[in-house]
Structures are given as structure tokens and as C-alpha cells.
A = this chain, B = another copy of it.
């Protein structure tokens, strides 16, 4: 296993500042996401303190990206209208300076989304979030996972994540038992979270939306993405303590996203 020694320090105070900024500004987050998880994603954003809007229609998606604080492009169910809407949104986001996140769900063997993911890869995403298998495919170094699951470890994806970051200019985040966030030169590991998140559909997809929300309120995309992951993990840990299984966990997780404040993140988040 190659080394994924962290090379950068995000201070507890910076994490706390990101949460304070989110709560103070209620950023408007455009979600162009898959039909399975839009409801959960919107509820995650609302609970965390952002304002979600699913505006993915051609003829509307671009106008919305221009006024949004952040945009998520998730490729889980890329129907024809949504593919057109996604490209329209990205063009407008780039023109307006709206940060946007690419989540290349299940890229690899599935042709339509994989082709779109590679096109979007070249359009200056602010951040790219996925599991290890997805990130490796997008870095052209893997064959893809099993459906929406990763068949590769975060550790094995580390160097590919750095390459992808350098290639695209995006911050790249790899989700797993511990999360890796890198901009190609600076790398941070985020510890904690809950394995129950993998038993709730959209657990990863909604994290992409939270990344967009934090990118909307902090100028350094690496710090913002690290803060998003640390915040998400802190809420998951809180929820796990109260839950008897995946059903109660999902509910308590939404409560926890509303309850985790700057101070808690400052004191409890574990980075390395």
C-alpha cells in the first residue's frame, strides 16, 4: 500500500469558520442529481442550513446556475434532458464563477454516464467527489466498481486522486472508511463517520451537495471540501449513537446535521 501521508494542516478554527459561514449565509445550492436521492439530498442541505433547488431542466438550469451559490452535478441517473441541463448549468456556472462539484456515480462500464463524466472532467469542476473506484476510472487508471459500490480502497486511489486533481485543477475527494481530500499538492485525511452511511441510499451523493454548500462559503476549495467531509462525519457519528439500524440512522442523521455547530466541529473533527 502506498503512503497517503497527509501533507497539509487545516486548523480546527478554519473548520468552525466554514460552519459558521454556512449558517450565516444559507447558500442557494442547485442540485442536478439522480432520481433516487434528490429527496434525501434536499433534506440534507436543508438540515445543514443551506437552501436546495433541483433546477435541472434545459432552458432553466443555466439561468439557475448563474444565480446559485453552488452547483452539484451528480451522474446517477443521467436522463437525456438532465444531461442537457447539466452541460447548460456547467457553462453558466463557469461564466458566473459559481463553484460546482462533479460526482461521477458508477462511471466505468456504464457508457452514457462515463462519456458525460469525461466531458465534464474537462470543464473545470471546482471539486470532484466519488468513491475510490469512480475516482480511479476518472483518472483513467481503473475499471470501475460494482454498481454504485467501490471495489477499490481509498489507499489504492490516493495517487490517482492527486493526478486527477493536477489534471483538472479540481479538489478531489475520495470517500471511504477514512476520506482523502487533495488538490494534487496538499492532501488531508478525514477520520470518523459511520459505516451506517453506506446502508442509506444517497449517503455519498448528499455529501457531494454538502461539498457544494461549503465551497459556496469559503474561498479555498481544499479547506471547504475538508470542512464538508468533517462536518458530515461529525453528524454521522452523532446519529449512530442514537440509532438501531439504517432507518433510524437516516432520520437521526438529518437531526444531527442541524445540531452540529462550529464549536463541536472545532473540538471533535479528526484530520491528519
B-binding residues in A (CB < 8 A): 28, 34-40, 42-43, 46-47, 51-57, 59-60, 63-64, 67-68, 76-81, 106, 109-113, 146-149, 198-202, 243-248, 250-259
Contact = CB atoms under 8 A, between A and B. Distances in A.
Contact of A251 (B28, B38, B59, B251): B251
Contacts of A38: 35-36
A109 B68 CA distance: 12
A131 to B, nearest CB: 13
A246 B255 contact: yes
19 contacts: A34-B54, A36-B39, A37-B39, A39-B201, A46-B201, A47-B246, A51-B149, A52-B147, A53-B106, A54-B76, A55-B110, A56-B77, A63-B110, A64-B110, A80-B81, A245-B256, A247-B251, A248-B254, A250-B251
Contact of A60 (B46, B53, B112, B149): B112
